[in-house]
Amino acid sequence: MAPNVIVNLSDLARWYADRPSAWPAVPRFDPVRRWYARIGADGDHEAWLLTFLPGQETSLHDHGGAAGAFTVLAGTLSEDVHLGEGGQWTAGQTAEFGTGHVHRLVNAGHEPVLSLHVYAPRLTTMTRYEYTADGSLRVLAVEREGENW
């Protein structure tokens, strides 16, 4: 269980990252698709582990009404942000984002990536998008907790 007082989501991500012996799941690397598992939750947030082998990526997506942060624990994770600057995040770095953030994460490197993500409030929906020819977004699907993950 997370401490009662967390200053921000980056701190919360690092708090979970610093306690791998408390994770209820052991990270795995799947050559067919990205692996992910929820490793913690409280009334106001949840935490997930994600792994990416080289070339694996998320789709372009948002987090419903949740804000979030992620910490890269191993490897380098590239982020493509709609209407913003993306970047590359390496082991030990943490990125935080607000509600309405639309992004795609990809392992464009040669080493496996392990990352830890936290969201507040807990995820209930995620919208998947694609870019149109003019650079705007088109909704592909809205995924819901309990149905799609």
What percentage of the chain exceeds 70 in pLDDT?
A: 95
What is 9-124's CATH number? 2.60.120.10
Q: What ranges do the domains of the chain cover?
A: 9-124
Average pLDDT over residues 106-124: 97
Using 50, 70 and 90 to split pLDDT, how confident is the model at 83? confident
- DSSP 8-state class, residue 66: -
Distance, CA of 14 to CA of 73 (rounded, Å):
10
Q: Give the DSSP letter string of 48-61.
A: EEEEE-TT-BPPEE
pLDDT score of 25: 97
Which residues make Cβ contacts (< 8 Å) with residue 63, sequence separation at least 6? 99, 101, 119, 123, 126
Cβ atoms of 61 and 123 within 8 Å: the answer is no
pLDDT at residue 5 is higher than 60:
no
End-to-end CA distance of the chain: 22
Average pLDDT over residues 79-108: 95
Average pLDDT over residues 66-74: 98
The per-residue pLDDT of the chain, averaged, comes to: 94
